[in-house]
Amino acid sequence: MDMENTNLFEFAEFDELESEHIAAPRYSYWKSVWRTFFKNKFTVGVAILLLIIIAFALIQPMISGYSPIITPNINNASLKFVKPCKDHIFGTDHVGNEVFDAVWAGARNSIIISFICTAINMLVGIPIGALWGFSKKMDRWMIEVYNVISNVPFLLLAMILSYVLGAGMRSLIITMTCTEWIFVAYFIRTQVMIIRDREYNLASKCLGTGTWTMILKNILPYLISVIMTYVSREVPSLISYEVFLSYMGLGLGTTNASLGQSIAMYTSYMNGYPHLFWIPVSVLAIISISLYIVGQKLADAADPRTHM
């Protein structure tokens, strides 16, 4: 202690506004989201794996030019049912095509379809759901619409649509969006109702803020995290829908590659050549699980409570 220094016992200068400054570094929502997301090494690993898979699925088919109806090796018995080896990474199938090519071409279509369908469902479901949750008047009749639509059996609808519209990408997308959006809307409605009556919304009302601005500025920003959680489940579940419908013969049709198509096609060789079945199933599982993990971790990172 430097007790000699009596200058210390003078009054210090005092500035009233000085104490108003905030010393903490500036907060930015999205920066914090990314920082939290990238902090976890495992998540980053899964995200990189996912990106590689997606990039590969988009590029590889362009090089291989795979199509299930082009079968140049169908008469070459030595190229059929080859087990995975150095020359044929995933082996070959019953018509002598590379399983490697089939899987990536299938993954490409499955991923594209599920992304498009998720995008449509979200773009339609979120605004409708937000309005639905906000307006008590709309809730009264919307809930009836929801009851009707949610009770239509999905498989029945898929069958009808596939007969009416024929097989193919377009009809598959319509099948997977025409009712699915209402589940998104219902989910959003419930979330909106939870935060609708919070005091800051009343404050906005007192300032004359209209419904859409309120939804955009007061409600949706609070839902980023739950919407991400929803998307992270929706994408893989739509991939499985696609697989399921293709497997049932209601999907893309035999002329297009898809993971479901491959799995359906190869099931019959399960006993003799199990790799034909397990390879597309594993790829499907890896894509779904990594999509889910990345989505969940993003949703966690989007929750400001994790930003401390």
Partner 1 sequence: MSNNNNREVIVSVKHVDITFDAGTKKAFKAVKDANFDIYKGETFALVGESGSGKTTLGRAILRINPCSAGEITFEGKRISGKISREEDRNVVRCIQMIFQDPAASLNERATIEYCVSEGLYNFHLYKDEADRIAKVDRALQDVGLLPEHKSRYPHEFSGGQRQRVGIARAMIMEPKFIVADEPISALDVSIRAQVLNLMNKLKAEKDLTYLFIAHDLSVVRFISDRIAVIHLGEIVEIAESETLFEYPLHPYTISLLSAVPMPDPLIEKNRKHVVYDPSVLDQSGAPREMREVRPGHFVHCTEKEFAEYQAKASRMEKEKKG
Partner 2 sequence: MAENRNVVLSAKDIEVKFRVRDNYLTAIRGVSLDLYEGETFAIVGESGSGKSVFTKTFTGMLESNGTISNGSVMFHGKDLTKLKTDKDWEGIRGAKISTIFQDPMTSLNPIRTIGSQITEVIEKHQGISKAEAKKQAIEMMERVGIVNAANRFDEYPFQYSGGMRQRIVIAIALACHPEILICDEPTTALDVTIQAQILQLIRDLQKELGFTTLYITHDLGVVANVADRVGVMYGGQIIEFGTVEEIFFESCHPYTWALLSSLPQLGIKGQDLYYITGTPPSLYNKIKGDAFAPRNEHALKIDFEQEPPFFKVSDTHYAKTWLLDPRAPRLERPEVIQDLHAKIKKMTDKGGAFHVE
Q: Which residues bind partner 1 (CB under 8 A)?
A: 17, 20-22, 24, 26-27, 29, 198-200, 202-210, 213, 217-218, 221-222, 304
Integer-rounded Cα radius of gyration of the chain: 27
Q: Is 253 helix (H, G, I), strand (E, B) or coil?
A: coil
> What does 1 interact with, of partner 1, partner 2, none (CB < 5 to 8 A by kind)?
partner 2
Q: Which strand (E) or helix (H) includes residue 118?
A: helix 99-134
C-beta closer to partner 1: residue 17 or 77: 17
In whole angstroms, how far apart are CA 23 and each of 14, 26, 27, 159, 284? 17, 9, 11, 62, 49
Amino acid at 212: W
Tokens 């696609």: give the residue. 242
List the Cα angle 298/299/304 in 5-degree steps. 105
Closest distance of CB 296 from partner 2, Å: 19
Closest distance of CB 213 from partner 1, Å: 8
- Site residues for partner 2, 4-63, by CB under 8 A, read 6-12, 14, 16, 18-20, 23
- Is 284 within 8 Å of 259 (Cβ atoms)? yes
C-beta closer to partner 2: residue 8 or 63: 8
Closest distance of CB 14 from partner 1, Å: 15
Closest distance of CB 40 from partner 2, Å: 13
Q: Is 98 helix (H, G, I), strand (E, B) or coil?
A: strand
Q: Is 302 helix (H, G, I), strand (E, B) or coil?
A: coil
C-beta closer to partner 2: residue 18 or 197: 18
> What does 56 interact with, of partner 1, partner 2, none (CB < 5 to 8 A by kind)?
none
Closest distance of CB 308 from partner 2, Å: 5
Residue among 76, 68, 95, 110 nearest 273 (CA): 95
Tokens coding 29: 């929502």
Closest distance of CB 225 from partner 2, Å: 17
> What does 8 interact with, of partner 1, partner 2, none (CB < 5 to 8 A by kind)?
partner 2
Footprint on this chain of partner 2 (rule: CB under 8 A) = 1, 6-12, 14, 16, 18-20, 23, 308
